[in-house]
Amino acid sequence: MSPKSKPDNAPPAGPSCEFRASARARAAGDASRTRLHRFHPDDYTFAGVRTDRYKAADGSWTGVLRRTLAGGGPLMGDPAAFELRYFEIAPGGHTTRERHEHVHVVVCVRGSGEARVKGRRYTMAPLDTLYIPPQAVHQLMNPSDAEPFGFFCIVDAERDRPVPVDPA
Summarize as ranges the residues that interact with a second copy (CB under 8 A).
31-39, 41, 44, 46, 69-71, 78-82, 84, 102-103, 105, 107, 109, 117-118, 120, 122, 124-136, 152, 154, 156-158
52 vs 128, beta carbon nearer a second copy: 128
22 vs 96, beta carbon nearer a second copy: 22
Closest approach of a second copy to the CB of residue 113, in Å: 13
Closest approach of a second copy to the CB of residue 119, in Å: 10
Cα-based angle 98, 112, 114 (whole degrees, multiple of 5): 30
107 vs 144, beta carbon nearer a second copy: 107
Closest approach of a second copy to the CB of residue 106, in Å: 9
- Report the C-alpha gap between 138 and 140 in whole angstroms: 7
**CA 92 to centroid of chain Cα atoms:** 17
Cα-based angle 147, 10, 114 (whole degrees, multiple of 5): 35
Annotation marks residue 153 as catalytic? yes
Active site residue: 49, 76, 84, 153, which one? Answer: 153
Cβ distance 150 to 44 under 8 Å?
yes
Closest approach of a second copy to the CB of residue 60, in Å: 22
- Report the C-alpha gap between 60 and 146 in whole angstroms: 22
Cβ distance 3 to 44 under 8 Å?
no
End-to-end CA distance of the chain: 36
7 vs 134, beta carbon nearer a second copy: 134
DSSP state of 19: H
Q: Could you give the residue numbers annotated as active site?
A: 153
